[in-house]
Amino acid sequence: MQRVAKVVTWVAILVFTPLFVSCGGGGYKGYMTRSYSIRGQHYQPMSVDQALNYRAEGIASWYNESRFFGLKRGNTSLGEKVMPWHVSAAHKTLPLPCVVKVTNLKNGNKVKMRVNDRGPFIPGRIIDVTPRAASKLDFKQDGLTRVRVEVVSVGDGKYKRKKKRRWWGLGLW
């Protein structure tokens, strides 16, 4: 009986450990703002100061980087692991990483999420979100929706910079 318990314990460790390993740890410091090219198109990410004032409306879509029913994780542009149940996003020109508030303009649902990947590279779309984020915004079934994207902060840890809040919306701060 003790042998069976040990086997079950090891099987549980081998099955569940990959699910709980940190999704962070891309090995970068600061912000990723270097330019890049995809399919012959050149992109220059905005500066941190520009990003802190970023607010845009447009079309959002969702994407899934993981494979094999969510058991094999995908990698982001920061080298982080991503799973379908993570709430994160991809943007073409925001510095990585950053946190944005995405509002579905059709139903008012709002979700804060980490931007840690590049994309979408389809004309007319401003942000790609993970399947869980699409579910929280209530557009997974539709595939696309109209959204507002606002940057909340840029960077992690000691590099984190937040958008300055206005006092009572009067611009006194």
pLDDT band at 115 (very low <50, low <70, confident <90, very high): very high
Q: What is the pLDDT of residue 125?
A: 96
What is the CATH architecture of 23-163? Beta Barrel (2.40)
The more confident residue out of 76 and 71 is 76
Residue 127's CB is within 10 A of a number of other CB atoms, namely 24
Q: How far apart, in whole angstroms, are the C-alpha atoms of residue 42 and residue 138?
A: 32
Rounded Cα–Cα distance for residues 53 and 9 (Å)? 50
154 touches 31 (CB < 8 A):
yes
Does position 7 have pLDDT exceeding 60, yes or no? no
65 — pLDDT class (breaks 50, 70, 90)? low
Question: Is 85 in contact with 132 (CB distance < 8 Å)?
Answer: yes
| In the predicted structure, residue 108 carries a pLDDT above the cut 90 | yes
pLDDT at 19 over 70: no
Mean pLDDT of the residues in the chain: 80
Query: Among the residues of the chain, which ranges form H helices?
Result: 2-20, 48-52, 131-136
Query: What's the pLDDT at 13?
Result: 47
Which pLDDT belongs to residue 64? 78
What is the distance between the alpha carbons of residues 64 and 73, in angstroms, rounded to a whole number? 10
pLDDT of residue 31: 76
Q: Please state whether the peptide bond connecting residue 97 to the residue before it is cis, i.e. omega within 30 degrees of 0.
A: yes
Confidence at residue 15, expressed as pLDDT on a 0 to 100 scale:
47
33 pLDDT tier (thresholds 50, 70, 90): confident
